[in-house]
Amino acid sequence: MRTLLFVLNPISGDLDKAGLEHQVAAYCREHGRTAVFFHTTGKDDLTRLQQFIQKQPVDAVFAAGGDGTVNLVGATLAGTAMPLGILPLGSGNGLSKDLGISQVLEEALPLVWQHAVRTIDTLRVGGQFAVHLADLGFNALVVARFAEGGTRGPGAYVRIAMQEYLAYEPAVYHIETDRETYEGPAFMLTVANASTFGSNVVINPNSHLDDGEFELCLIEPFPATAAPGILYRLYTEGFDESMYTRRLRCRKAVISIPQQERATVQVDGEPYELAMPLEIEIFPQSLRVLVPAESLNA
């Protein structure tokens, strides 16, 4: 791979992007690679990126941003032979953590010349491409409020979550999968192709990005006194140990909320208002990603 495209999101995370392009270009030159750059604007990025790649042949595309940037590049490359690389520069960087990619830029840059290729599954959630995690309920609401605000970073997310928690009313979900049916209230419902949110919350322990299945992870309504215990389990891979959690494994699912035509859905860190019922389907082995060679043996 000689020519590498880097897709840069100038507003992802709370990191200063000044000098990033120069740093990446210089590193690539040192290792016999040519760096090409594409900047997202938030307007028609998918179409513009597809057109850019058609006009400028490259050997791999790196998402230099957060999970939203990874989603954009993944949607562009899914179903093709061209691999996705990640330089994690967002607020959460969930997929890169699940792939074993360092969160330190200088330690992630070696992927441009030394790596292994792993093929993973992707999802369609209500028509939206997804490669990592999507959800409905409390977290989706907080992500939507976070997107509306002008402050980035994990501190802003925590502040919004605390504000929304006091007045939050869980919805009732009706779920039909290719294996079972479930109906009941949930504080949040996560569609999980992977295991870990960018906040290091492990919502889906022992999951696999390449097993041809995904999980629906439910946190049911809980009393305030149970919140610390649930939070502790989410940070210690103990999701299944709580009486307020359950997981449904499947290949297809349809989710509906009685008497509700649309719902806020978070998909790879980006909020959407999607029509109900919400159809979800997995596409096995549909995206090639660059990972540290040692991560394949972990």
Which residue ranges make up each domain of the chain?
A: 3-121+287-297, 128-284
Tell me the three state secondary structure of residue 272: strand
* CA gap 193, 195 in Å, rounded: 7
Provide the strand spans (E) within 76-162: 84-88, 116-125, 128-130, 133-137
List pLDDT tens digits, range 171-210.
Answer: 999 999 999 999 999 999 999 999 999 888 999 999 999 9
Q: Could you tell me the two tokens for 288? A: 């090639």
Q: Which CATH code for domain 3-121+287-297? A: 3.40.50.10330
In one letter, which amino acid is 288? R
Neighbours of 45 (CB within 10 A): 20
Domains 3-121+287-297 and 128-284 share a fold: no
Closest C-alpha to 221, from 159, 168, 157: 168
CATH fit for domain 128-284, picks 1.50.10.10, 3.40.50.720, 2.60.200.40, 3.30.540.10 = 2.60.200.40
List pLDDT tens digits, range 77-113.
Answer: 999 999 999 999 987 889 999 999 999 999 999 999 9
Query: If you write DSSP's letter for every residue of 181-230 in order, what string do you get?
Result: EEEEEESEEEEESSSB-TTS-BSSTT--TTSS-EEEEEE----GGGHHHH
Containing H/E element for 249? strand 245-250
Min mean pLDDT across 79-93, 119-133, 255-269, 284-298 is at 284-298
Query: Hunting for tokens 């610390």 — which residue is that?
Result: 228
Neighbours of 231 (CB within 10 A): 11
Closest C-alpha to 83, from 62, 52, 98: 62
| Stated pTM of the model | 0.91
Q: Could you tell me the two tokens for 138? A: 């409390």
- % of residues, the chain, pLDDT over 90: 79
Neighbours of 285 (CB within 10 A): 12
* CA gap 85, 70 in Å, rounded: 9
Neighbours of 28 (CB within 10 A): 21
Closest C-alpha to 2, from 50, 26, 36: 36
pLDDT score of 54 more than 90: yes
Provide the strand spans (E) within 31-132: 34-39, 60-65, 84-88, 116-125, 128-130
List pLDDT tens digits, range 104-145.
Answer: 999 999 999 999 999 999 999 999 999 999 999 999 999 898
> Over the Cα atoms of the chain, what is R_g?
19
